[in-house]
Chains A and B, each alone.
Chain A
Amino acid sequence: MSDLHTVNKSPFEKNSLDTCLRLSKAGSSILLYEDGVYAALAGTAASGKIAGALADRKVYVLEPDYRARGLKSDRLIEGVEMVDYAGFVDLVESCDKVQAWV
Chain B
Amino acid sequence: MSDKKQFMFLNRRAPYGTIYAWESLEVVLIAAAFEQAVSLAFIDDGVYQLVTGQDTTGIGMKNFSPTYKTLGDYEVRHMYVDKESLEARGLTADDLVVVPWEDWETEETVDNIVEVVDSDQLAELIEQSDVVFSF
- Footprint of B on A, CB under 8 Å? 2-3, 15-16, 19, 22-25, 28, 96-102
Q: Assuming A15-B44, A19-B43, A19-B44, is B132 touching A25 (CB within 8 A)?
A: no
7 CB contacts below 8 A, A to B, read: A3-B126, A19-B12, A19-B44, A23-B126, A25-B124, A98-B132, A99-B10
A-B contacts counted at CB < 8 A amount to 38
Quick check: A23 and B43 within 8 Å, CB to CB? Answer: yes
Contact with A along B97-135 (1 / 0, CB 8 A): 000000000000000000000010011101101111011
Write the nearest CB–CB distance from B79 to chain A, whole angstroms: 16
Contact with A along B40-82 (1 / 0, CB 8 A): 0001100000000000000000000000000000000000001
A28 and B126 alpha carbons, distance in the complex (Å): 12
Partner of A24, one of B84, B123, B135: B123
Query: Which size bracket describes the interface of B in this complex?
Result: 10 to 19
Write the nearest CB–CB distance from A3 to chain B, whole angstroms: 6
For B82, B123, B129, which residue has the most chain A Cβ atoms within 10 angstroms? B123
Residues in B whose Cβ lies below 8 Å from that of A98: 132
Quick check: B134 and A99 within 8 Å, CB to CB? Answer: yes
Residues in B whose Cβ lies below 8 Å from that of A2: 127
